Structure 1
Amino acid sequence: MNIITFGTFDMFHIGHLNILERAKAQGVKLTVGVSSDALNFSKKQRNPICDERDRMRIVAALSCVDEVFLEKSLELKADYITHFKADCLVMWDDWEGRFDHLSHLCKVIYLSRTPAISTTQLIEVVKEIR
Structure 2
Amino acid sequence: MGDRLVGYVPGAYDMFHIGHLNILRKAREQCDYLIAGVVTDEVAEAAKGKRPAVPYEERLEVVASIRFVDEAVMDWSSDKYLMWEQLRFDVLFKGDDWKGTPKGDRLEAGLGAVGVRVVYFPYTAHTSSTSLRQLIGA
Count of residues paired in the alignment = 127
Question: Once the two structures are superposed, what CA deviation does each residue of 1:2-27 show, in whole Å capped at 9, x if it has no partner?
Answer: 10110000000011000110011111
Give the drift of 1:83.
2.4
Question: Once the two structures are superposed, what CA deviation does each residue of 1:37-88 show, in whole Å capped at 9, x if it has no partner?
Answer: 001111111111100000000000011001111111112x113223222111
Give the corresponding residue for 1:119: 129
Unaligned runs of 5+ in 2: none
Q: Which moved more, 1:62-71 or 1:98-107?
A: 98-107
1:100 to 87, 100, 108: 108
Question: Once the two structures are superposed, what CA deviation does each residue of 1:79-116 show, in whole Å capped at 9, x if it has no partner?
Answer: 32232221111111111141111112211111111241
Matches of 2:40 and 2:51, distance apart in 1:
10
SS for the counterpart of 1:74 is coil
CA contact (8 A) 2:64 2:72 kept: yes
Q: Does residue 78 of structure 1 match 2:78?
A: no
1:9 to 10, 13, 16: 13
1:110 to 96, 112, 120: 120
Unaligned runs of 5+ in 1: none
Give the corresponding residue for 1:57: 61
- In the TM superposition, structure 1's runs of 4+ consecutive aligned residues that sit over 6 Å from their partners are none
Give the corresponding residue for 1:19: 23
TM-score, normalised to structure 2, is: 0.87
State the percentage of identical aligned residues.
Answer: 32
